[in-house]
Amino acid sequence: MGLSLKRIAGTAAASAALFAGTGAAASPAAADDASKNRVLVVMLDVQDRVHADPGATKADFAARYFGADNSLKSYYDKVSRGRVDFVPAVPEKVIGPFKLSVSGGTCQPGELRVKTEALMAAKGFKRGEDYDSLSMVTPRIGCSWSGLATIGRGVSWIQAPRGTANLGVIVHEFGHNQGYPHQPGLVCKDGNLTDCAEGRGGKSPMGGGGTRLGLTATQLIRSGWLDAAEHQRVKDSGTFTLRPLYGEQQGVRALEVPLGEDKVVLEYRRPTAGLDEELGGVYAYRVTKDHYAGGRQIRLGSNDGDGAVTTFTDTAHRLKVSVTSTGADGAEVAISMNGKAAPPAEKTTPVVTEEVEPTPPPTPSDDAPVVHGDDEPPADDAHGDDAAGSPGASADGAGTGTAGAPGSSSEDGTHSMDSGSDQTRLAATGSDATVLVLVSVSAALMLVLGALGLKRTRRNRAHP
């Protein structure tokens, strides 16, 4: 029996890909100005698995999606300050369950989506006309995740093995729909940004923080949920005041510091308006070019508590940032640029910042599904082709929050990417896919090495 190195290498590649200053007043949007997102929540039964108590499940999901409190609707209304409003696409809020001819023992999210969309179309529901987002609710099926979502497009899959809704999973998956990847991080030795290793962030539901935490400043910037006066760029050394990210005070909530082609975004977080429980300090994020959605939280060491920064430097760019005080109304931050010491706050030149006009989020693309595990690098790295052989796509997803960190929540679990056949970038919440990644990559490597070894043995036999 002959072995084809090309075929084995192709199989290995497929396997690896498969698992692989001053500010203006904050202006919350008026109700009429909110961007309404009509969500069609559809309960599904599959061939051998059904919802045990569909009535109770339907009521629970309706409350968790659209209730006045403790819901998808209330969470995003709060963090966006009324700029987005998730509303039911139908009067009954949740429809179904509908039986689909899909095996419950396998994991086929793409097939579920295709058949659900076809069924909805047959019932007269058209995307864009009758609904904006589609959220499919299934009993426990053969998938390792609790939730799955397209990144930048309004499709999500939620499993309900106990017949109840997990708000943390729902909010997380709709975060992916907003364009947010899993929140990545950097661990910088001795507080120097020139010596950092990839790590994890955890200051939002996208990093395992659950719904007790708000979104990060970089995520709010990505969605256009900060006013221009609230997001300002530093132009010279000075001492600046940061207001609580979710506070009612007027002023700057996100301070952006140039770092070559990149930038550092600073925010001040403290318990406010029912958000950011257990947080208290200034947090920093490194943004690659304008990729705010994938802003990486800067941590000053592996044992830095909740990750709040006090002082850090970047010797390559002659930058130093120091938090000089924090309080209920804000935090004072001294920034030294180009080696020029920061003057005291009262001596800071008035015009040292410039407003950054909000830009609309980029239009999402129909990239191929991307598979990655918890320990993969953050959002700017590319990943391989999907199992169906679609062209490789740049992943917009990344690692997850740190379990057990202050502000973290068990409601989010761990996260991974799923390999559904749907031709869109996907991100999942659920059981540990790291093992799958390691096993598949190791298996693929063993296949390649084994094939090389066999070919070498045959060559040696042919030429003693």
pLDDT digits (tens, 9 = 90+) for 47-87: 999 999 999 999 999 999 999 999 999 999 999 999 999 99
User: Cβ contacts of residue 103 below 8 Å, gap of 6+?
Assistant: 46, 47, 48, 142
* Model pLDDT, residue 347: 52
Measure the CA–CA gap between 20 and 418, rounded to whole angstroms: 9
Q: What percent of the chain has pLDDT over 90?
A: 58
* Model pLDDT, residue 80: 97
Q: How is the chain split among helix, strand and coil, in percent rounded to 5? A: 25, 25, 45
Cα–Cα distances in angstroms (integers) from residue 137 to residues 166, 187, 206, 225, 344, in the given order: 11, 37, 20, 29, 55
By DSSP bridging, strand 331-336 and strand 353-355 are unpaired
pLDDT > 70? residue 464:
no
Phi and psi (nearest 5°) for 363? -70, 130
By DSSP bridging, strand 84-88 and strand 353-355 are unpaired
* Model pLDDT, residue 58: 98
165 dihedral zone (left: phi>0; alpha: psi -120 to 50; beta)? beta
The more confident residue out of 270 and 430 is 270
By DSSP bridging, strand 133-138 and strand 254-259 are unpaired
DSSP count for the chain of H helices, then E strands: 7, 20
Rounded to the nearest integer, the mean pLDDT of the chain is 76
Q: Which of 215, 173, 171, 151 is nearest to 415 (CA)?
A: 173
pLDDT > 90? residue 395:
no
pLDDT > 60? residue 416:
no
User: Cβ contacts of residue 5 below 8 Å, gap of 6+?
Assistant: 451, 452, 455
What mean pLDDT is predicted for residues 285-300? 93
pLDDT > 60? residue 394:
no
Cα–Cα distances in angstroms (integers) from residue 179 to residues 39, 165, 268, 293, in the given order: 17, 22, 23, 7
Q: How many residues does the chain have?
A: 464
Confidence bin at 225 (pLDDT 50/70/90):
very high
* Model pLDDT, residue 143: 95
| Burial class of residue 42 (count of CB atoms within 10 Å of its CB; 0-12, 13-18, 19+) | buried
Q: What percent of the chain has pLDDT over 70?
A: 66
pLDDT > 60? residue 399:
no
What mean pLDDT is predicted for residues 325-352? 80
**Maximum separation of any 2 CA atoms in the chain, in Å:** 84
The more confident residue out of 357 and 408 is 357
pLDDT > 70? residue 290:
yes
pLDDT > 70? residue 348:
no
* Model pLDDT, residue 355: 60
CA atoms within 13 A on the CB side of 269: 30
pLDDT > 80? residue 369:
no
Measure the CA–CA gap between 313 and 125, rounded to whole angstroms: 54
Confidence bin at 14 (pLDDT 50/70/90):
very low
Q: Is the peptide bond before 97 cis (omega within 30 degrees of 0)?
A: yes
Helix crossing, 5-19 with 434-462: angle to 10°? Answer: 170
Handedness of CA 58, 61, 63, 67 (dihedral sign): negative
| Burial class of residue 13 (count of CB atoms within 10 Å of its CB; 0-12, 13-18, 19+) | middle
By DSSP bridging, strand 196-200 and strand 184-188 are antiparallel
Q: Are 206 and 172 in contact (CB under 8 A)?
A: yes
pTM for the model: 0.75
What mean pLDDT is predicted for residues 154-181? 96
Measure the CA–CA gap between 405 and 189, rounded to whole angstroms: 19
Confidence bin at 248 (pLDDT 50/70/90):
very high
Confidence bin at 356 (pLDDT 50/70/90):
low
Cα–Cα distances in angstroms (integers) from residue 51 to residues 75, 90, 140, 164, 429, in the given order: 27, 21, 9, 10, 20
pLDDT > 50? residue 330:
yes
Q: How far apart are the first and last CA of the chain?
A: 22
pLDDT 10s digits, 80-114: 999 999 999 999 999 999 999 999 999 999 999 99
pLDDT > 70? residue 13:
no
Least confident of 76-85, 178-187, 304-313, 360-369: 360-369
Cα–Cα distances in angstroms (integers) from residue 191 to residues 256, 299, 333, in the given order: 18, 8, 16
User: Where does 252-375 have alpha helices with state H?
Assistant: none
* Model pLDDT, residue 372: 28
pLDDT > 70? residue 401:
no
Q: Are 111 and 138 in contact (CB under 8 A)?
A: no
Measure the CA–CA gap between 368 and 391, rounded to whole angstroms: 7
By DSSP bridging, strand 331-336 and strand 238-242 are antiparallel
Confidence bin at 391 (pLDDT 50/70/90):
very low
Confidence bin at 344 (pLDDT 50/70/90):
confident
* Model pLDDT, residue 450: 47
pLDDT > 50? residue 433:
no
pLDDT > 60? residue 131:
yes
pLDDT > 70? residue 273:
yes
User: Cβ contacts of residue 241 below 8 Å, gap of 6+?
Assistant: 21, 251, 252, 330, 331, 332, 333, 345
Handedness of CA 114, 115, 116, 118 (dihedral sign): positive
* Model pLDDT, residue 301: 75
pLDDT > 70? residue 166:
yes
Measure the CA–CA gap between 330 and 70, rounded to whole angstroms: 27
pLDDT 10s digits, 434-459: 222 323 333 344 434 444 444 444 44
